[in-house]
């Protein structure tokens, strides 16, 4: 890569220091502003509860301040993370999907060229409803027909039409005769990205002629949710979705398995293709709507913002992310032991991502 590339971490660290000094100078006479003395973490609402409990444990058991964790959504968090190097930018971005090639390019344009990827475990995306109603048993095909903006013509003609389905029973007479009403995440959410890829797209592929469309037309058909009020964007706060399901027993909600685990007294997960979402079905890759979870670390901030290396050590300790760690009590599905060891080595060596997303 040449001398310039090898020197770049030092140059970036120098730039970071200059930014810190500038932020102090900008405060004006008679005022001082220290370099930020806590870790700033943004991103996925799904990873948020895991990061929060690690941050609290870290704050209690070390001399460092408790990190500030904000649930901004994966897309919003990575955007903030990639906006630059310096005290005004986050140190860590949580994400319920892998960072994309475009996001890596944006990072690089803004000087964020060394990123450590930490895969922390697995999660399932559940479709849940209030326990006061009957549990749903759905297929991915039915889920696609319920939520897509355009669907195959019910008359059997090979063309897409505006989604005509109003009730679940319109799709399958065995389903409840109630209005389709699904509360779900907004476009900035990694959960929404994963739901489109892992649930909507396979349901779309149940129609061979749709799967055979040219890529742009295929993605438009499979990844576009309806906008007629049947799918309701409910923000990044998954706890709020749970509350809304309690008050509206006819509705369904989309969120990460950890929130189902934490609210099992109030809501229940729907069967998808005959599989109930639980710890074992997700860990064994039997549940069809499962995905890995990540966080991303800005290497230029390590050694400048205090405690980042130690936070990584806490998160990747057996007592946290291990098979019987406290994160599994919160609903995280641990990585298999061999994969966990490989990720741990990358974290300990602060190995920089070599790929460019997907």
Using one digit for the tens of pLDDT, what is the confidence trace for 299-344? 999 999 999 999 999 999 999 999 999 999 888 999 999 999 999 9
pLDDT at site 24: 34
pLDDT at site 357: 47
pLDDT at site 276: 96
Residue range 2-123+292-348, CATH number: 3.40.190.10
Q: Flag whether pLDDT at 16 surpasses 80.
A: no
pLDDT at site 355: 59
Q: Which two tokens stand for residue 109?
A: 């344009």
| Helix, strand counts (H, E) of the chain | 16, 13
Distance from C-alpha of 333 to C-alpha of 323, rounded to nearest angstrom: 8
**Adjacent-strand bridge partners of 68:** 40
pLDDT, mean over the chain: 89
Is residue 181 within 8 Å of 251, Cβ to Cβ? Answer: yes
Q: Flag whether pLDDT at 262 surpasses 70.
A: yes
Q: Flag whether pLDDT at 3 surpasses 90.
A: no
The H or E element that residue 120 is part of is strand 115-130
pLDDT at site 86: 94
3-class DSSP state of 248: coil
Is residue 4 within 8 Å of 56, Cβ to Cβ? Answer: no
As a three-state string, the secondary structure of 36-101 is CCCCEEEECCCCHHHHHHHHHHHHHHCCCCCCEEEECCHHHHHHHHCCCCCCCCCCEEEECCCCCH
- What Rg, from alpha-carbon coordinates, does the chain have? 22
In CATH terms, are 2-123+292-348 and 124-290 the same topology?
A: yes
pLDDT at site 334: 95
Distance from C-alpha of 20 to C-alpha of 26, rounded to nearest angstrom: 10
CA nearest neighbour of 260 among 283, 284, 276: 276
Segment among 8-12, 203-207, 229-233 with least mean pLDDT: 8-12
Is residue 74 within 8 Å of 95, Cβ to Cβ? Answer: yes
The residues, ordered by sequence, that sit 6+ positions from 282 with a Cβ below 8 Å of its Cβ are: 122, 123, 124, 257, 290, 333
pLDDT at site 229: 95
The burial of 284, by beta-carbon neighbours within 10 Å (0-12 exposed, 13-18 middle, 19 or more buried), is given as: exposed
CATH 3.40.50.1220 is right for the domain spanning 124-290? no
Is residue 194 within 8 Å of 96, Cβ to Cβ? Answer: yes
| Domain residue extents for the chain | 2-123+292-348, 124-290
């Amino acid at each position: 890569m040449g001398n310039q590339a090898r020197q770049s971490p030092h140059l970036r660290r120098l730039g970071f220091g200059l930014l810190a000094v500038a932020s102090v100078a900008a405060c004006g006479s008679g005022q001082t502003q220290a370099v930020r003395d806590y870790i700033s973490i943004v991103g996925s609402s799904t990873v948020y509860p895991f990061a929060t409990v690690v941050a609290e444990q870290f704050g209690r058991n070390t001399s460092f301040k408790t990190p500030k964790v904000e649930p901004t959504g994966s897309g919003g968090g990575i955007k903030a993370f990639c906006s630059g190097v310096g005290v005004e930018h986050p140190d860590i971005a949580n994400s319920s999907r892998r960072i994309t090639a475009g996001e890596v390019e944006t990072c690089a344009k803004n000087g964020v060229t060394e990123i450590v990827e930490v895969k922390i475990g697995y999660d399932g995306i559940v479709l849940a409803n209030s326990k006061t109603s009957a549990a749903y048993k759905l297929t991915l095909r039915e889920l696609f027909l319920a939520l897509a903006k355009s669907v195959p013509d019910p008359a059997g003609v090979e063309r897409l039409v505006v989604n005509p389905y109003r009730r679940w029973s319109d799709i399958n007479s065995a389903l409840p005769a109630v209005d389709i009403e699904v509360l779900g995440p907004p476009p900035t959410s990694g959960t929404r990205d994963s739901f489109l890829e892992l649930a909507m797209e396979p349901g779309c592929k149940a129609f061979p002629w749709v799967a055979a469309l040219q890529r742009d037309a295929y993605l438009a058909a499979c990844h576009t949710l309806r906008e007629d009020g049947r799918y309701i964007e409910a923000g990044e706060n998954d706890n709020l979705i749970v509350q809304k399901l309690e008050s509206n027993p006819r509705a369904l909600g989309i969120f990460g398995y950890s929130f189902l685990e934490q609210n099992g007294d109030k809501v229940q997960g729907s069967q998808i293709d005959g599989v109930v979402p639980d710890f074992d079905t997700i860990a064994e890759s039997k549940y069809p709507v499962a995905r890995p979870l990540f966080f991303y670390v800005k290497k230029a901030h390590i050694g400048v913002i205090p405690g980042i290396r130690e936070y990584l050590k806490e998160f990747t300790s057996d007592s946290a992310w291990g098979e019987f760690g406290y994160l599994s009590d919160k609903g995280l599905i641990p990585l298999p032991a061999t994969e966990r060891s490989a990720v741990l080595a990358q974290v300990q060596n602060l190995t920089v991502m070599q790929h460019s997303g997907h």
